[in-house]
């Protein structure tokens, strides 16, 4: 166990965003925004399917992943059902279920004043947070810089991301 003397302050967080669903991107946005609110530097590195959160055509239409999402039992209280009832994986493939789950999640987030993805990214950027796309993933998915949200700071290789992350007090988080 760390004693108070062993603890070093977190100066910077570099968050890798690899999932491109609504439920996959929000943890990174919340962590980056929270870091900025605490005066901690924050960088978001969107890679593989996480790029979905930066692509202009998809960032405002992200959905909750319902197929194979074993944690959907967490949403059961939104339906006034006990959390102990599992969400059957096969149900996630039924047309309309993802749209229903997405609508339900967005409604609950709105009640808590959690902004939509684009607005959240704007808040992070406005507060000094950095937003990066992954060059390899961009090449793999045949994306160009102009396909991305205009406020992306840069497209980086993994090596450049690690260079950005270097330093004492930096923590790398993977979501």
Per-residue b or e along 22-31, where b marks 16 or more CB atoms closer than 10 Å to that residue's CB: bbbbbebbeb
Residue pair 66/102 in contact by the 8 Å Cβ criterion = no
Classify residue 4 as exposed, middle or buried by CB count within 10 Å of its CB (0-12, 13-18, 19+): exposed
Judged against a pLDDT cut of 80, whether residue 75 lies above it is answered with no
Domain ranges in the chain?
12-60+116-174, 69-114
Instruction: Please give the share of the chain, as a percent, with pLDDT higher than 70.
Output: 97
What is d(CA 156, CA 134) in angstroms, rounded to the nearest whole number?
5
Instruction: Please compute the mean of the pLDDT values over residues 16-44 and round it to a whole number.
Output: 95
Per-residue b or e along 90-106, where b marks 16 or more CB atoms closer than 10 Å to that residue's CB: eebeeeebbeebbeebb
In the CATH hierarchy, which top-level class contains the domain 12-60+116-174? alpha beta
Instruction: Using pLDDT thresholds of 50, 70 and 90, give the confidence band for residue 90.
Output: confident
Looking at residue 5, its pLDDT comes to 60
What is d(CA 40, CA 36) in angstroms, rounded to the nearest whole number?
5
Looking at residue 138, its pLDDT comes to 98
Residue 21 DSSP label:
S
């Amino acid at each position: 166990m760390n004693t108070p003397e062993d603890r070093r302050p977190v100066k910077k967080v570099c968050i890798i965003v690899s999932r491109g669903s609504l439920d996959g991107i929000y943890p990174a946005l919340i962590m980056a925004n929270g870091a900025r609110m605490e005066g901690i530097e924050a960088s978001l590195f969107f890679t593989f399917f996480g790029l979905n959160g930066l692509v202009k055509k998809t960032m405002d239409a992200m959905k909750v992943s319902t197929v194979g999402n074993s944690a959907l039992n967490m949403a059961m209280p939104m339906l006034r059902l006990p959390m102990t009832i599992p969400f059957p994986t096969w149900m996630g493939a039924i047309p309309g279920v993802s749209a229903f789950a997405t609508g339900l999640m967005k409604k609950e987030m709105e009640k808590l004043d959690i902004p939509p993805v684009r607005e959240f990214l704007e808040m992070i950027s406005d507060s000094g947070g950095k937003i990066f796309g992954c060059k390899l993933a961009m090449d793999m998915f045949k994306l160009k810089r102009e396909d991305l949200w205009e406020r992306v700071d840069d497209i980086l290789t993994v090596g450049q991301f690690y260079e950005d992350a270097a330093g004492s007090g930096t923590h790398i988080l993977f979501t």
